[in-house]
Amino acid sequence: MMREETRIAVLGGDARQRFAARKLMEDGYSVSVWGLGNLEMQGLGAVSCADWRAAVSNADVLLLPLPVSADGVRLNCPLQSPEESVRLSLLPDAFGGRIILGGRIPEALQNLATEKGKTCIDYFDSELLQLKNALPTAEGAIFVAMGELPVTLDGIQAAVVGYGRIGSLLAEKLMALGARVTVLARRREALQHAALRHHKGILLRCEDGYRGLDDLSADCRVIFNTVPERIFAGDALEKLPKDCLFVDLASAPGGIDFAEAEKKGIRALWATALPGKYSPETAGVMIAETIETILSD
């Protein structure tokens, strides 16, 4: 598929989509956009459409946001007025091309697109994109914590739950800022990797609820969770240090029972979609580069 001959329709999403569209145009693709608010891309040759159907009807590729939808029914369009929202079920019929790309595509849309003879690809399945996405997520998490804590990160006790792509990078950046980092993980191998980076480790044992939380330092000021499992619920909430901020970075259902945490006076924030909020240009370029790789393949 030649770039100059490929028409991409970019629909909906947050500021990341703006920068993704700009990157695609700079790299030679023909781009039409809808649902991205006030654009300043006309100098690069973007076609800004007043109607979403006009944007997709003559396109070869349909680029949807990350995530595609917040409710599984309508397109995620935070930069567009609510009354202009688009039902996902309408997209396959209106789209004139063959390839639909999106992040965290609802199963219903994937099935409908397949029925209509479209090729539906979830670009968030890309291992490289998820690895790259860990950087703006980790930096965004630190930004959130710095805005909520009454103390500097330098010298405090901080905990990171989970030691995958995001958790490992977050622990490194916290340590670079002077925090003393404890890593909580369910696998001994992960704790061994953390130890090589000079982090204290606590094994979360799953039998009879998660054990190991008792070993958290009483003066821990912030806990970052990256595990999408309700570890912090019930009796586990009683084990959280007093005056500790809980920043949940995990996707649904999250790692903490927010309702119960509020009752117990625990400060808990669900900090999702951080790349789109704090590093949209970096994140948008990463998405565009992933799209180009998919199309070249």
Any idea what DSSP says for residue 87?
B
Q: What is the pLDDT of residue 50?
A: 87
Q: What is the mean pLDDT of each run of 10 residues along the chain (297 residues)?
A: 82 93 94 82 68 94 96 93 90 96 96 96 95 96 97 98 97 98 95 97 76 86 95 87 94 91 94 93 97 94
Q: What is the pLDDT of residue 83?
A: 80
The pair of three-digit structure tokens given for residue 59, joined into one six-digit string: 């396109």
In angstroms, the Cα distances linking 27 to 60, 98, 132, 197, 245 are 16, 21, 20, 39, 43
Distance, in Å, from the CA atom of 251 to the CA atom of 169, rounded to the nearest integer, reads: 18
Q: What is the pLDDT of residue 209?
A: 55
The pair of three-digit structure tokens given for residue 47, joined into one six-digit string: 């076609």
Q: Could you tell me the end-to-end alpha-carbon distance of the chain, in angstroms, rounded to an integer?
A: 9
Q: What is the pLDDT of residue 212?
A: 78
In angstroms, the Cα distances linking 223 to 92, 194, 208, 241, 266 are 43, 16, 22, 10, 11
Judge if pTM exceeds 0.95. no
Nearest to 60 by CA among 98, 93, 25, 27: 98
User: C-alpha angle with apex 221: 216 to 227, nearest 5 degrees?
Assistant: 65
Q: What is the pLDDT of residue 44?
A: 52
Q: What is the pLDDT of residue 185?
A: 94
Distance, in Å, from the CA atom of 191 to the CA atom of 36, rounded to the nearest integer, reads: 43
In angstroms, the Cα distances linking 59 to 54, 74, 79, 102, 149 are 9, 20, 22, 15, 47
